[in-house]
Homo-oligomer: A and B are copies of this chain.
Amino acid sequence: MVGAKVFKPGEVSESNSSGMPEEFRENQRKRFNRKLADYAGLKNFGVNLIRVIPGGQSSARHAHTKQDEFVYVLEGEFVLVTDSGRQTVGPGACIGFPAGTGDGHHFLNETDRDAIFLVVGDRTPGDEVTYPDIDVELKGGCDGVRKWRHKDGSPYPLKERG
């Protein structure tokens, strides 16, 4: 179809690579990502299918300054962690994360089977990402370039994504 791309998530390659600095990548190995909207040729927002295997996390706990996030749980059970504590969410749960609250979030799979959600995020320019629990931020420094930095602003060395 010319104006429509129809597919199943299984057609889209799945990856557990991470763009974070090397010392934080190992914690992401149990999170597998399929970039659905990219696969469909969409540019204005991302829709990813996230599968977290037992013992894994969706991401390091983080907050966006300008980009909203929306999650819809499809399968299994997650523990959502924010500054307010822990909350268990299962299939059909919706979770919205408005930009700019500074309250970091992530999802843990503490069960013995896979858990899956859809996540939507926009691509508002100038977004920065803060991580309350670890010494890393994705933000512009004095040089104005958005990159992975320590909390003192010094950049992490550039290394291949993996």
Chain A contacts to B: CB under 8 angstroms:
1-9, 36-37, 39-45, 47, 63, 67-68, 70, 72, 80, 82-85, 87, 89, 92-99, 101-105, 118, 120, 122, 124
A-B contact pairs, 10 of them (CB 8 A): A1-B83, A1-B87, A2-B83, A3-B103, A4-B84, A4-B103, A5-B95, A9-B94, A42-B98, A43-B68
**Are B36 and A95 in contact (CB-based, < 8 A)?**
no
* Distance from A46 Cβ to chain B, minimum over Cβ atoms (Å): 9
Write out the residue numbers on chain B whose beta carbons fall within 8 Å of the beta carbon of A42: 68, 70, 96, 98
Q: Report if A63-B96 is in contact (Cβ < 8 Å); known contacts: A42-B68, A118-B72.
A: no
**Are A3 and B83 in contact (CB-based, < 8 A)?**
yes
A4 and B107 alpha carbons, distance in the complex (Å):
12
**Are A44 and B63 in contact (CB-based, < 8 A)?**
no
Write out the residue numbers on chain B whose beta carbons fall within 8 Å of the beta carbon of A103: 1-4
With A8-B93, A43-B68 given, can you name 19 additional A-B contacts, CB distance below 8 Å?
A2-B103, A3-B84, A3-B97, A4-B82, A4-B103, A6-B80, A6-B93, A8-B92, A9-B92, A9-B94, A40-B94, A40-B95, A40-B97, A40-B98, A41-B96, A41-B98, A42-B68, A44-B68, A44-B99
Write out the residue numbers on chain B whose beta carbons fall within 8 Å of the beta carbon of A40: 70, 94-98
Residue of B nearest to A124 (CB): B44
A39 and B122 alpha carbons, distance in the complex (Å):
17
Contact of A6 among B7, B47, B95, B98 (CB under 8 A): B95
